[in-house]
């Protein structure tokens, strides 16, 4: 029975290791994509339309980094920090707002987005940061 318990206690660590490796690969590609978008923006001198793409790519990179930090905190403390996940969700929602044109969006979708942003902000404020150990 103890072998079974030891096996199942290793499963989350193995899965988190795989997720950490995948997030590392994705983060490298995301940074590369951001650099390419910045270079395209500078070369084309089209700052007004390409700046949204650059900001979107930067926010995606930040989201990936926050998720990676969440995985590394799990390795250190054996629990997931909820506040970091809320911040990642907030960053993702900001990206979502930047991508779609507000004038063409259904008002209920816009209301739902604002409501979700308010819940995420409240969660970030109300959830206390985990103490550093």
Cβ–Cβ under 8 Å, residues 24 and 61: no
Is pTM beyond 0.75? Reply is no
Residue 116, Cβ density class (10 Å: 0-12 exposed, 13-18 middle, ≥19 buried): middle
Predicted local confidence at residue 103, as pLDDT: 64
| Burial of 82 (C-beta count, 10 Å sphere; 0-12/13-18/19+) | middle
Q: Report pLDDT digits (tens) over 9-23.
A: 888 888 888 988 999
62-118 pLDDT per residue, tens: 888 888 888 888 878 877 778 878 888 888 887 777 776 666 777 788 788 888 888
């Amino acid at each position: 029975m103890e072998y079974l318990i030891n096996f199942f206690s290793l499963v989350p660590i193995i899965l988190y290791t795989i997720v950490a490796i995948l997030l590392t690969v994705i983060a490298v590609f995301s940074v590369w994509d951001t650099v390419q978008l910045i270079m395209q923006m500078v070369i084309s001198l089209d700052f007004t339309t390409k700046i949204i793409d650059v900001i979107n790519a930067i926010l995606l990179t930040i989201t990936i980094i926050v998720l990676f930090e969440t995985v590394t905190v799990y390795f250190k403390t054996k629990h997931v920090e909820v506040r970091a996940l809320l911040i990642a969700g907030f960053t993702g929602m900001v990206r979502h707002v930047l991508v779609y044109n507000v004038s063409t969006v259904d008002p209920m979708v816009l209301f739902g987005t604002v409501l979700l942003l308010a819940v995420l902000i409240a969660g970030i404020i109300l959830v206390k940061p985990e103490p550093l150990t």
